[in-house]
Amino acid sequence: MTTIRQVAAVAGVSVATASRALSGSPAVIEPTRNRVLDAAAALDFTVSRLARSLVTGSTGNVGVILPDVTNPFYSSFLAELEAVLDTHDIGILVGDSREDPVRELTIVHRMTSQVDAVVLASSRLADADIVAAATRVPVVLANRALADETPLPRFLHQVLVDIDRGFSDAARHLHSLGHTGLVYLDGPARSWSGQQKRLILDRACRSFGMRLSVVSTDKPDFAAGWRAASALDPASDTGVVAFNDEIALGLLCGLRDADIDVPGQISVVGCDDSLPDGLAWPSLTTVDSSPRTLGALAAAAILGTAESRTAHVPTHLVIRHSTSVARHPSPKESTL
């Protein structure tokens, strides 16, 4: 490996001058700079970000920890975050906690000493652990908020999806279609956003006088939705809201497999609006919480261009064809 001292030697200058020339300091005169750059090119030299980081105290890297890289929500989030930071020549250390708080904490520790900030997406950590982490390295919480009573640490940003609007509207929508009860297909047990969605639906149902029942899923994917299909009874469960579109899609397919008509017998609402046109049939009514926008907000927090300590991605309900008027089987009707 070639070092800056070799470059300096070849260029016939001191290491200080070489360093200045290479980092574009204006204090070095044109011909000198060229000698250094030529030498560097000749030796195929690139500065060691490691060594630079050690002395400057900034690494040019940020850490990102996700519950599951494989989940489209997180991979989109990551893609956008990466795209923005890349333009600022910032690298990304990625960690996959696989929904495990212990592993998440381990990864945080591995990262802290080599990044300028850590982004925790849908963190499964306890508030206390997050607060503790924020004392060692700036933290951006994405899709997760600390409890209201927890005071926000100095170096903690939050970027959130404002699902309140979307989920309230989802409940209102189903209510207005005559549904008298709702089934919520929840996400992972430790998911903060899943819990929020549940709370919002609960509040909404209460205000509309609807029943709410919750079905848990371990991993929020297609298979979970498919399995849930067989747990539903079209006689009583006419309206379903899912944690995300993957679950909703699995449900759609599972219901079709069971010859249950959507939206004729059961109405389905998803979340994220992450499915490409034409994949879901019928097209899915969903809450559009954009992970890419969330990624952009996280990037803004990292870059210091965020306007406030906690930012929100707005949502709204996108009504398509997986929801329709509830069919109320009256006692008189026979099921044939």
Partner DNA sequence: CACTGTGATGTAACCGGTTTCATTAGACTT
Partner DNA sequence: AAGTCTAATGAAACCGGTTACATCACAGTG
Q: Which of residues 37-96 bind its own copies (CB under 8 A)?
A: 44, 46-51, 53-54, 59, 61, 68-70, 72, 75-76, 78-79, 82-83, 86, 89, 91-96
**Least distance to DNA, CB of residue 88, Å:** 17
Q: Decide if residue 220 touches its own copies (CB under 8 A).
A: no
Region of 5-13, 150-158, 231-239, 319-327 interacting with DNA (CB under 7 A): 5-13
Contact 133, 139 (CB under 8 A): yes
Task: Please identify, using beta-carbon distances, which residue of 1 and 147 lies nearer to DNA.
Answer: 1
C-alpha dihedral, 191 to 197 to 200 to 206, nearest 10° = -100
Q: Is 312 helix (H, G, I), strand (E, B) or coil?
A: strand
Contacted by 59, from its own copies, DNA, none: CB < 5 to 8 Å by type: its own copies
Give yes or no for a cis peptide into 291 (omega within 30° of 0): no
Contact code string over 133-162 relative to its own copies, x by CB under 8 A? ---x--------------------------
Q: Which is nearer to DNA, 12 or 264 (CB)?
A: 12
96 binds, among its own copies, DNA, none (CB under 5 to 8 A by kind): its own copies
Backbone angles phi, psi at 40, to 5 degrees: -60, -45
The phi-psi region of residue 83 (left if phi > 0; otherwise alpha if psi is between -120 and 50; otherwise beta) is alpha
Burial class (CB in 10 A: 0-12, 13-18, 19+), 139: buried
Q: Does 13 bind DNA (CB under 7 A)?
A: yes
Looking at beta carbons only, is 169 or 246 nearer to its own copies?
Answer: 246
Please report, as residue ranges, which positions from 51 to 80 form the binding site for DNA (by CB under 7 A). 51-52, 54-57
* β-pairing verdict for 117-121 and 139-142: parallel
Please, is 227 exposed, middle or buried when counting C-beta atoms within 10 Å of its C-beta (0-12, 13-18, 19+)? middle
Applying CB under 7 A, which residues contact DNA? 1-5, 12-17, 19-20, 22-23, 26-29, 31-32, 45, 47-48, 50-52, 54-57
